[in-house]
Amino acid sequence: MDFSITEEQQAFVKSVYSFSKNELAPLMEEYELKGEFCWPAWNKMAEFGMMGLPFPEAYGGANAGVMTTCLGMEALARGGCDAGTCLAWGAHTILCGVPIWLIGTEEQKQKYLTKLTNSEWVGGFGLTEPGAGSDAASVKTTAVKKGDKYILNGTKMFITNGPIGKVFVVIAVTDKSAGHMGISAFLVESSFPGFSIGKELNKMGNRTSTTSELIFEDCEVPKENLLGPEGMGFILVGKTILEYERSCLLAAGLGGMEYCLDLSVKYAKERAQFGKPIAQFQAIQRKIADMKIGIEGSRLALYRVAWMKDNNIPAMLEASVVKLFMSEVGLKVADHGVQIHGGYGYMKEYPVERHYRDAKLGTIGAGTSEVQRMIISKSVLNPKKKGAK
Partner 1 sequence: MDYKLTKEQEQFQKEFKAFCEAEIAPGAAAVDSAGDFPMENWKKLAARGIQGLMIPKEYGGQGGCLIIGVTAIDALASACGSTAMAVGTSMFCGAKAIEAHATPVVKEKVLKALATGEAICAFAVTEPGCGSDVAAITTTAERKGDSFVINGTKSYLTNAPVADYIVVVAKSGEVDGKPKFSVLLVPKGTPGITIGESYKTMGLRGALAASVKFENCEVPAENLLGAENEGFKIVMDSMDYARLNVAAVSNGISSAAFFAAKKYSENRVAFGKPIALHQDIAFRVADMHVECDVARMQTYQAAWMKKEGMKCSPTIAIAKVAASEAAVANAGRAVTVFAGHGYMQGSAVERIFRDAKLMEAAAGTNDILRGIIAADALRD
Report, as residue numbers or ranges, the catalytic residues.
245
Q: Are 283 and 273 in contact (CB under 8 A)?
A: no
**Options 120, 218, 224, 296; binder of partner 1; rule CB under 8 A:** 296
- Cα(369)–Cα(327) distance, rounded to whole angstroms? 8
Q: Does 290 bind partner 1 (CB under 8 A)?
A: yes
- Cα(147)–Cα(144) distance, rounded to whole angstroms? 10
Q: What angle do CA 272, 274, 276 make, to 5 degrees?
A: 45
Q: Does 56 bind partner 1 (CB under 8 A)?
A: no
Q: Any residues with CB less than 8 A from the CB of 282 and at least 6 apart, and which?
A: none
- Compare residues 213 and 318 and give the one whose CB is closer to partner 1: 318
Q: Are 124 and 95 in contact (CB under 8 A)?
A: yes
Residues 67-106 that bind partner 1 (CB under 8 A): 67
As measured in angstroms, the least distance from the Cβ of 156 to partner 1 is: 28
**Options 101, 195, 307, 356; binder of partner 1; rule CB under 8 A:** 307
Sign, Cα dihedral of 111, 117, 118, 121: positive
- Compare residues 218 and 296 and give the one whose CB is closer to partner 1: 296
Q: Does 370 bind partner 1 (CB under 8 A)?
A: yes
**Options 132, 235, 236, 288; binder of partner 1; rule CB under 8 A:** 288
**Options 14, 176, 223, 286; binder of partner 1; rule CB under 8 A:** 286
Return the SS3 of 77: helix
- Cα(80)–Cα(62) distance, rounded to whole angstroms? 23
Q: Any residues with CB less than 8 A from the CB of 50 and at least 6 apart, and which?
A: 16, 72, 73, 76, 89, 93
Sign, Cα dihedral of 155, 156, 157, 160: negative
Q: Does 12 bind partner 1 (CB under 8 A)?
A: no
Number of residues that bind partner 1 (CB under 8 A): 47
**Options 177, 191, 343, 388; binder of partner 1; rule CB under 8 A:** 388
**Options 136, 235, 236, 265; binder of partner 1; rule CB under 8 A:** 265
Q: Phi and psi dihedrals of 351, rounded to 5?
A: -60, -20
- Cα(178)–Cα(319) distance, rounded to whole angstroms? 28
The stretch among 36-44, 55-63, 175-183, 264-272 that binds partner 1 (CB under 8 A) is: 264-272
- Cα(174)–Cα(377) distance, rounded to whole angstroms? 31
Q: Does 176 bind partner 1 (CB under 8 A)?
A: no
Q: Does 270 bind partner 1 (CB under 8 A)?
A: no
Q: Are 100 and 185 in contact (CB under 8 A)?
A: no
Q: Does 321 bind partner 1 (CB under 8 A)?
A: yes
**Options 147, 276, 312, 384; binder of partner 1; rule CB under 8 A:** 384
Q: Does 283 bind partner 1 (CB under 8 A)?
A: no
Q: Does 276 bind partner 1 (CB under 8 A)?
A: no
Angle between helices 369-380 and 316-345 (to 10 degrees): 150
As measured in angstroms, the least distance from the Cβ of 74 to partner 1 is: 14
Residues 223-262 that bind partner 1 (CB under 8 A): 261
**Options 11, 58, 178, 289; binder of partner 1; rule CB under 8 A:** 289
Q: Which residues bind partner 1 (CB under 8 A)?
A: 1-5, 67, 261, 265, 268-269, 279, 282, 285-286, 288-293, 296-297, 300-301, 303-304, 307-308, 321, 324-325, 370, 372-374, 376-378, 380-384, 386-389
